[in-house]
Chains A and B, each alone.
Chain A
Amino acid sequence: MSRNRSAIRFVSWCCLSVVLLVIYLPLVPPILFSLAPGEPDAALTLRWYLALWRDPVLVSAIATSLEVGIIVAIAATILGLGAALAIRELRVPRLILALMLLPLFVPGVSMGLATALFFRLVGIEASLVKIAIVQTAWALPFATLIVVTAMSTFDPVYLEAAYVSGAGRWRAFVDIELPLIRSGVSGAATFSLILSFNETIRTAIVQGPLNTVQTYIWSTYRQVGLSPALYALMSLLILLTLGLVAAFVVGGARPPREVSVGDFAAASSQKP
């Protein structure tokens, strides 16, 4: 019986590994084609990576991507924190959660079109603002889910303790809760940054004159097709995404530190 069961376990893990392998497989070819384009036995070269920096359109797209990424990471994290607080404090938690998760169920092209029509009607024309808003709306459901998950592991008894020590709601949140859900906050910011770097469709519809790296890849593909330089760019994005996840796992996901008496003293001493 137990041998039978462990055999089933082994087969299950094997099937799971095969699915994971298939899901990870597409991350490999762009890297191969950027290092050795053409013949399979061609010599390895980094020239396509160097060629990227000679394209002024691309260099400005990289700058835009970085700017937008930082804005989206900050905005979506703050909004996600606010949403998680709203879910806990207001009377209709499930309704607010449903509203926050709605963008997950809207296809990118529909959301892009809707926002583009809205921007035109309201008269928002600044390219950077439009891209940042549409990407923040896309990242917000994920940021909210991550913060909500982190908050659900937080014991509200700490807040009670802070109130008893004389801290106001705001101080208790900033001094006691925020440090304890730190990994959730850094997770939300990392996810938002990654989602921003990897968004194409919504951005391409509202973009205006500015390009991000992803819209650059998409429009170059539509106009002239794939090239070793594009594969180099894709490889950099894949490595950046993997790197950010790794940085989060190593740095951000550490267990939160213990709360000390000093924290409550600090929270209560600053009461207005």
Chain B
Amino acid sequence: MLGRFLGRWGFPALPIAFAAVFVLVPLALTIVVSFWTRVGLVVRPAFTFTSYAAFFAGARLLVLERSLIASIEATALSLLLAYPIAYFLAFKASPRAARTVLLLFTVPFLVNYIIRAFAWTWLLGRTGLINALLIATGLTSKPLDWLLYSDVAVLIGLVTSYMPFMIFPLWVSLAGIDRRLIQASWMLGAPPARTFLRVTLPLSLPGVFAAAIFSFVSCFGESAIPVVMGGVGYQMMGNSIASAMDVLNYPLAAAISTVVLVTMMGLLLLWYVVFDARAFLGMILRPRG
């Protein structure tokens, strides 16, 4: 009896318990610890805003601003690249070709983005491939040195790290659109551009927002790209968390991380309330032939 009960309910309950214990509880704990206090090297339970005050006062506000700008730029740029690709795969390519191209975008995403960032530091460097090409084609006479260890470099790092995976949610939402709606718009005389703006784009927004949250939050909390491609002293939210941990200031690290987590939760809530997250999740679960 017990065996059958576990067989029926225990197996499906296992991943839910795992996610609750090792994802939800730790994330909640981060928020709790952000209010704790640090005495010497010991962290004590308390309810104080010291860590937040330390974060929002002074130079770290610049870190917040820079992270916001970089994340918005990277997300916008990634959407501009990923949306046409997903659109093309959903509407213009054969299902077989679409599957192949999606797989091709998966493979580099799987290779650790830090390794790819190391490679970019050479590609973008003074003696790297990009500068060599620019000089060979006569576009510049001497190597551009703002390509590496700059905002541009961080932007390239962020876009190439997270853009490939954004194609998936966009493709899911575009491929899930009922074609009859587009045909109806066409039959009622709307030109293609109008059909896209009034029918296709609005219907794909749940997927656009899923991709945008994924990119924005990942970039906002990114800790390795600024170190590898931003150069010495380039601080963003993610590596501020890491450097607070390096000096064992866990409440401060937790406070900065809480700012990231609250941003994430706010965006997920917005997705749920405004952009129909339920419809998007339903599209993932819809049976396919």
User: What residues of chain A have their CB less than 8 Å away from a CB belonging to chain B?
Assistant: 9, 12, 15-16, 19-20, 22-30, 33, 78-83, 85-87, 89-90, 93-94, 96-100, 102-111, 113-115, 117-118, 121, 133-134, 136-137, 140, 144-145, 148-149, 152-153, 168-170, 191, 194-195, 198-201, 205, 214, 217-218, 221-222, 226, 234, 237-238, 241-242, 245, 249
Contact A103 B23 (CB under 8 A): yes
- Bitwise, B23-37 to A at CB < 8 A (1) or not (0) is 111110110010000
Partner of A109, one of B7, B164, B242, B277: B242
The 8 A CB mask of B204-228 against A (1 = contact, 0 = none) is 0000000001100110111110011
Interface residues of B in 235-272 (CB under 8 A from A): 238-239, 241-242, 245, 250, 253-254, 257, 260-261, 264, 268
- Residue B85 at the A interface, CB < 8 A? yes
Residues of B in contact with A (beta carbons under 8 Å apart) = 4, 7-8, 11-16, 18-20, 22-27, 29-30, 33, 81, 84-85, 88, 92, 101, 103-108, 110-112, 114-120, 122-123, 129, 160, 163-164, 213-214, 217-218, 220-224, 227-228, 238-239, 241-242, 245, 250, 253-254, 257, 260-261, 264, 268, 277-278, 281-282, 284-289
Task: Knowing that A20-B101, A100-B19, A107-B217 touch, tell me 14 more A-B residue pairs with CB under 8 angstroms.
Answer: A26-B117, A26-B120, A33-B122, A83-B15, A86-B13, A86-B16, A97-B284, A105-B217, A107-B221, A111-B23, A117-B30, A152-B288, A153-B289, A170-B7
Chain B: interface secondary structure?
Answer: helix
B115→A170 contact, CB < 8 A: no
**CB–CB A113/B7 < 8 A:** no
Residues on the B chain within 8 Å of A98, using CB = 277, 281
- Select the residue from A15, A82, A191 with max chain B CB neighbours within 10 A: A82
B7: nearest chain-A partner, CB-CB:
A170
Provide 20 A-B residue pairs closer than 8 Å at the C-beta atoms, listed in order of the A residue. A12-B88, A15-B84, A25-B129, A79-B18, A81-B11, A103-B23, A105-B268, A107-B222, A108-B238, A111-B26, A114-B30, A117-B254, A137-B19, A149-B284, A153-B287, A169-B8, A194-B110, A205-B242, A217-B115, A234-B118
A-B complex: 6 closest residue pairs judged by Cβ atoms:
A107-B221, A86-B12, A26-B119, A114-B26, A118-B26, A198-B112
A253 nearest in chain B by CB position: B103
Tell whether, in the assembled complex, residue A27 and residue B116 are in contact, meaning their CB atoms are under 8 Å apart: yes
* List of B residues within 8 angstroms of A94 by Cβ: 278, 281-282, 285
Main secondary structure of the interface of A (DSSP, over half): helix
